[in-house]
Chain A
Amino acid sequence: NNNLQKAIDLASKAAQEDKAKNYEEALRLYQHAVQYFLHVIKYEAQGDKAKQSIRAKCAEYLDRAEKLKEYLKKKETTPAKPV
């Protein structure tokens, strides 16, 4: 259950950073968490219901990560307003 716990921890940290508006860090952590969750689904025996539940969580995290990525990309290309 080590990898599952690791995945949960990462997802939890990601949500914290997200809340704190540290979007770059949150994005990185969301990606990491999904990677671990995927490993658990593929290589560590879980019941079908548990697997689908994990997949649904991954979908949520991936959606959120995509939004953060878009936001960060826009931020990069928007020139800073002159003072």
Chain B
Amino acid sequence: TKADTISDEDIERQLKALGMD
């Protein structure tokens, strides 16, 4: 599953995407 294999970069990318409107 995605949650099992997510990496730090993935997390950062998603976080950035959330921050942008």
Binding site for B on A (CB under 8 A): 27, 31, 34-35, 38, 41-42, 52, 55-56, 58-60, 62, 65-66, 69
Contact = CB atoms under 8 A, between A and B. Distances in A.
Contacts of B15: 31, 34-35, 38, 62
Contacts, number: 39
| B contact residues, range | 10 to 19
A62 B18 contact: yes
A34 B11 CA distance: 8
Interface of B: 2-4, 6-8, 10-12, 14-15, 17-19
A41 B11 CA distance: 11
Closest 5 CB pairs of A and B: A59-B3, A56-B3, A59-B6, A62-B14, A58-B11
